[in-house]
C-alpha cells in the first residue's frame, strides 16, 4: 500500500486543521461541523484521486428520558469508510463511532453524521482546537472540594434528618422524640431495640 500511503500523507497535510465555524447557541460554544470536515477532506481526497464508500451499521437504538420527562431515541452507529486509490487499486478502511439523540426520526442520521466526522478526524489527525480533557466545567461539577461536599451533606442532613441505624428519613417529630429519649436520631423501628438515655 505504498502508493496509497503517500497519498494519505498528502491528505493529512492538506487537512491538518479545520476551523470551528459551528455555534451551539444553547451552551454557547463553537465547534467544527461535519460539513466543514467533509468539505475539507473531500477536496483533499479528490485532489489525490481517492474515493470513499461509507457503510453504516446501527449498534443500538434505545429510548431515553430527558430531564423534562420526554422520551427520545438514542442511536449509536458504527461506520466503516473504505478509501480507494484510483491509480493503484489499493484500499484501506477507517472506522468511526457516533451517537445521536432525537425526539423524532433523526437519531440515526445524527449518529451517522457524528460517526463519519470522527472517523475522518481521528484517522487523519485533524485538529480543531478542541480538547475533551480541558473541559473545566465538567471537572468543576464532578470534583468538589471535600469541605464543600461536607457542607453540602450537612445541609442535606439538617433539612432531611435520617435514622443513624438504617438511613430512613425521619419526620421532625420522630427525630425530636428520639433525640430526647435515645440521644440519637432513630426511626420508630430502630427505637424498639435501642437503650433509653438516662
Q: What per-residue confidence (pLDDT) applies to 12? A: 95
Helix (H, G, I), strand (E, B) or coil at 75: strand
* Residues sharing a CB contact under 8 Å with residue 3, sequence separation 6 or more, in sequence order: 85, 87, 88, 90
**128, 127, 98: which is closest to 113 by C-alpha?**
98
CB atoms within 10 A of CB 77: 25
C-alpha cell at 182: 435515645
pLDDT at 14: 94
How much is the pTM? 0.63
Rg of the chain over Cα atoms, rounded to whole angstroms, equals: 28
The string of DSSP codes covering 14-33 is HTSB----EEETTTTEEE--
Between the CA of residue 104 and those of 20, 69, 71, 75, 100, what are the distances in Å?
27, 15, 10, 12, 11
User: Tell me, what's the pLDDT at 143?
Assistant: 47
Residue linked to cell 465538567: 138
Query: 34 in helix, strand or coil?
Result: helix
Instruction: Give me the residue label for grid cell 458504527.
Output: 78
For 132, residues 6+ apart whose C-beta sits below 8 A from its C-beta are none
> Which helix (H) or strand (E) covers residue 91, if one does?
strand 91-102
Rounded CA separation 174/152 (Å): 23
| pLDDT at residue 160, as a whole number | 66
Query: Which DSSP letter does residue 184 get?
Result: S
Order of strands, edge to edge, in the sheet holding 71-85?
A: 50-65, 71-85, 91-102
Largest CA distance in the chain: 95
pLDDT of residue 146: 46
Q: Determine the pLDDT at residue 57.
A: 95
Q: Which domains does the chain have, with CATH numbers?
A: 2-130 (3.30.390), 146-191 (no CATH)
Bridge-based pairing of strands 91-102 and 71-85 is: antiparallel
| Sequential pLDDT tens for the chain (198 residues) | 899 999 999 999 999 998 888 887 777 788 888 899 999 999 999 999 999 999 999 999 999 998 888 999 999 999 999 999 999 989 999 999 999 999 989 999 999 999 999 999 999 999 887 554 444 444 454 444 444 444 444 443 344 677 777 777 778 888 888 788 878 878 777 787 777 765
Question: What pLDDT does 147 receive?
Answer: 45
Amino acid at each position: 500500500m505504498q502508493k496509497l500511503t503517500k497519498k494519505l500523507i498528502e491528505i493529512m497535510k492538506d487537512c491538518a486543521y479545520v476551523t470551528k465555524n459551528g455555534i451551539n447557541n444553547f451552551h454557547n460554544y463553537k465547534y467544527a461541523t461535519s460539513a466543514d470536515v467533509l468539505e475539507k477532506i473531500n477536496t483533499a481526497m479528490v485532489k489525490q484521486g481517492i474515493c470513499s464508500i461509507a457503510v453504516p451499521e446501527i449498534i443500538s437504538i434505545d429510548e431515553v428520558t430527558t430531564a423534562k420527562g420526554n422520551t427520545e431515541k438514542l442511536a449509536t452507529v458504527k461506520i466503516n469508510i473504505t478509501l480507494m486509490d484510483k491509480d493503484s487499486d489499493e484500499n484501506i478502511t477507517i472506522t468511526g463511532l457516533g451517537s445521536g439523540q432525537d425526539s423524532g426520526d433523526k437519531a440515526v442520521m445524527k449518529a451517522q453524521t457524528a460517526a463519519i466526522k470522527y472517523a475522518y478526524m481521528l484517522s487523519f489527525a485533524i485538529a480543531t482546537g478542541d480538547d475533551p480533557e480541558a473541559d473545566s466545567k465538567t471537572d468543576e461539577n464532578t470534583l468538589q472540594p471535600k469541605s464543600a461536599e461536607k457542607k453540602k451533606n450537612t445541609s442535606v442532613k439538617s433539612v432531611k434528618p435520617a435514622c443513624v441505624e438504617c438511613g430512613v428519613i425521619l419526620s421532625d417529630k420522630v427525630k425530636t422524640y428520639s433525640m430526647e429519649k435515645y440521644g440519637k436520631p432513630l426511626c420508630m423501628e430502630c427505637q424498639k431495640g435501642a437503650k433509653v438515655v438516662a
